[in-house]
Amino acid sequence: MSFQGPSFGYNVNVMNVKAVKCMPSSCINNLRKHYSLSPPNPYQCNVGLVGSSARRNTIRFMPSQRQLKLRTSAVPFGRIFQLSSLRPCQVKQSDDTEGNLSGESIMLDEEILKRELQIAIEEEDYVQAAKLRDSLKMLDEDSKTSVLAANARFYDSFKNGDLATMQGLWARGDNVCCVHPGASGISGYDPVMESWEVVWMNYEFPLAIELKNVRVHVRGNVGYVTCIEFVRTKGTSWGGQFVTNVFEKLDGQWFICIHHASPVDL
């Protein structure tokens, strides 16, 4: 990290901090153990203090290729250093073919953009505020689109009884969980895969699956989809199920880690 101004310059090393990822509390309640994740391989970003005046300092954050200005009221340099060093900027290096940012970077960018938006509003810079709102919206929509695509791949394998594809869509671990309609929860990657073989027994494929009331929410490396699922086979119907599918982003890809389907009367 470097701090530069008209009359001073300092070089400070920024520590790499391993990201800690955790499931939402509502999901943890379905599991007996906490879900363990591999830490990313972060690298440092530059944070610099540029320019100063009697009234205002400008801090320029540069995560990845972005540059965002943060204006703050004048405070002593020592205090600026303390504030700036609380959150080292990190971006995950990965082979993400979709070019998506890591969850840590997404959360950091979101926090910076929200902070910049608040400052722009306070300074009555409404043109800049509008641009920042658009950036926040795009960041949110990109993550939601990726989770919805992973959800679509899950239902495509479900519809076709494609076990090989289903195996590649699930996170591998002892704490993945699957709750089929009317059944208790099944934990562990291998038992979950075996359960799909049982569910698909004696059915002709493809199945007809219709989804209604689809909603998606994403926060960092975790996202979930809720929907009403209707599954029909030739001459029969499984009725409606309220479904929650939880996804986790690992090494740049979204994997399902919880599928919970409960029968509903419609």
Instruction: Assess whether 50 and 111 both reside in one domain.
Output: yes
Q: Interior CA angle at 96 toward 87 and 193, to 5°?
A: 105
Neighbours of 38 (CB within 10 A): 10
Q: Interior CA angle at 208 toward 153 and 158, to 5°?
A: 35
Instruction: Assess whether 53 and 83 both reside in one domain.
Output: yes
Least confident of 3-7, 83-87, 133-137: 83-87
Instruction: Assess whether 34 and 99 both reside in one domain.
Output: yes
Question: Which residues are registered as beta bridge partners of 161?
Answer: none
CATH at 257: 3.10.450.50
Percent of the chain with pLDDT over 70: 58
- Out of 115, 130, 145, pick the residue that ends a domain: 145
Instruction: Assess whether 124 and 222 both reside in one domain.
Output: no
pLDDT the model gives residue 105: 56
Q: Report pTM.
A: 0.53
Q: What is the SS3 assignment for 68?
A: strand
Instruction: Assess whether 130 and 154 both reside in one domain.
Output: no
Question: Which residues are registered as beta bridge partners of 256?
Answer: 170, 247
Question: What is the span of the domain harbouring residue 117?
Answer: 2-145
Q: What is the pLDDT of residues 159-176, one digit of tens each?
A: 999 999 999 999 999 999
C-alpha distances in Å from residue 123, one per residue of 50, 71, 73, 129: 20, 10, 12, 10
Task: Name the residue type at position 23.
Answer: M
CA pair distance 264, 73, nearest whole angstrom: 55
Task: Name the residue type at position 33.
Answer: K
Instruction: Assess whether 132 and 159 both reside in one domain.
Output: no
Q: What is the pLDDT of residues 58-93, one digit of tens each?
A: 334 344 444 333 333 333 333 322 333 333 323 233
- Out of 145, 172, 195, pick the residue that ends a domain: 145
pLDDT the model gives residue 166: 98
Instruction: Assess whether 131 and 260 both reside in one domain.
Output: no
Domain count within the chain: 2
| H or E element at residue 260 | strand 253-264
237 Cα distance to chain centroid: 34
